[in-house]
Amino acid sequence: MKRYILPCAAAWAALALAAACHAQTPAASANGTPTYPAKAIRLIVPFPPGQASDVLARAIGAKLTEAFHQQVVVDNRPGAGGNIGSDQAAKAPPDGYTLVMATAALPISKSVYAKLPFDPAKDFAPVTMLTKTPLVLIVNPALPVKSVKELVALAKAKPGALSFASSGNGTSHQLSGELFKVTAGIDIVHVPYKGSAPAQMDIIGGQVAMMFDNIVAVLPNVTSGKLKGLAVTTPHRWFALPDLPTMAESGLPGVEAVAWFGVLAPAGTPPQVIATLNREIGRVIALPEIKDRFRTQGIELAGSTPADMQKFMQAEIVKWAKVVQASGAHAD
């Protein structure tokens, strides 16, 4: 059996959560029924501190703590492409006191991993979407292409000579590259990295030709000219890089993908608890100070109903399963 060592940040978060739960006395309504929330809420981030999901969780958690008068503790549980933290959330009591930040990796994991200890389609109750942002197709500035069309032509002229990076096997970065490869009918080689930052560094250095990466991660290097952006993967152009065309405008309408963040609870969480969380999180991400803060990073925050998030996640599972089948991608 594998043992996972709790990182220092996670250990401190666990201690803070235990202390918060011990210190708080559950409140009750007039008829004696406990109100929600009556104690601390644990918000699992299945990725390391400092990543976009973590920064977003901490900003929202701080505002929810103010609103609920109960502490929202962000608990980083990274590993296995987000599956360690997601598994803990899936198996937590469905009482509204354990939540998880979900990303595009979650529906992908259902297809790229041969075995999962949880089911992304059945073991979670959607609370709300937080944002959907584009991936950006980036290349080394020295690569002799100025458009997606020229990149495809170069790849077809040199089969197997070009490579594309990702932040790891089974990520949305890899699957977007595989989708590009299959749709364009080109032969490019996948090179997985342990994170987006080292992958971008090797693209800048010329060791790898290209990558699909989250706009939050690439924006500084694209605007500075260290990387060349060719297109975004959303159906429409993005406000942070308005001069970049979409993949559809570039002749590949099938290459559409979003990097997204949302909040989930364990399946079976009471509907009234989901409704409370949906309402309060929606209020928080609509606050000007929160919206403006993340807009400068290329993120447009917008909530959703639980039903709309459920529908979106189901569509993502189906979509990426087809890409995995066509490309043979796997993460095991």
Q: What are phi and psi of 181, to 5 degrees?
A: -60, -50
How would residue 51 be classed by pLDDT, with cut points 50, 70 and 90?
confident
> Please, what is the average pLDDT of the chain?
90
Lowest-pLDDT choice from 11-15, 57-61, 107-111, 151-155: 11-15
Which residue is associated with the tokens 């890899």? 174
CA 61 to chain centre: 17
How would residue 15 be classed by pLDDT, with cut points 50, 70 and 90?
very low
Q: What are phi and psi of 45, to 5 degrees?
A: -110, 110
Per-residue pLDDT at 292: 96
Using CA atoms, how far apart are residues 150 and 78, in angstroms rounded to an integer?
38
**Under a CB-based contact definition with an 8 Å cutoff, are residues 133 and 258 in contact?**
yes
pTM of the model: 0.85
Whether pLDDT at 21 is above 50: no
Lowest-pLDDT choice from 25-39, 105-119, 190-204: 25-39
- CA-to-CA separations, 59 to 52, 76, 317, in angstroms, rounded: 11, 14, 28
Per-residue pLDDT at 34: 65
Half-sphere exposure of 302 (CA within 13 A, CB side): 7
Using CA atoms, how far apart are residues 130 and 138, in angstroms rounded to an integer?
25
Per-residue pLDDT at 19: 44
Per-residue pLDDT at 319: 95
Domain 8-23+35-132+258-327 fold is D-Maltodextrin-Binding Protein; domain 2 (3.40.190)
pLDDT digits (tens, 9 = 90+) for 253-268: 999 999 999 999 999 9
Domain 134-232 fold is D-Maltodextrin-Binding Protein; domain 2 (3.40.190)
Whether pLDDT at 28 is above 60: no
Using CA atoms, how far apart are residues 283 and 103, in angstroms rounded to an integer?
21
Per-residue pLDDT at 81: 83
Using CA atoms, how far apart are residues 116 and 110, in angstroms rounded to an integer?
7
Per-residue pLDDT at 60: 97
Whether pLDDT at 68 is above 80: yes
Per-residue pLDDT at 289: 96
What average pLDDT score do residues 109-135 get?
Answer: 94
Same fold, 8-23+35-132+258-327 and 134-232: yes
SS3 content of the chain, % helix, strand, coil (to 5): 40, 20, 40
Instruction: Give the per-residue SS3 of 182-246.
Output: HHHCCCCEEEECCCHHHHHHHHHHCCCCEEEEEHHHHHHHHHHCCCEEEEECCCCCCCCCCCCCE
pLDDT digits (tens, 9 = 90+) for 184-196: 999 999 999 988 8
What are the boundaries of each domain within the chain? 8-23+35-132+258-327, 134-232
Using CA atoms, how far apart are residues 45 and 42, in angstroms rounded to an integer?
10
What average pLDDT score do residues 74-87 get?
Answer: 92
**Under a CB-based contact definition with an 8 Å cutoff, are residues 78 and 100 in contact?**
no
Whether pLDDT at 23 is above 50: no
The separation between the first and the last C-alpha atoms of the chain, rounded to the nearest angstrom, is: 16
Whether pLDDT at 26 is above 80: no
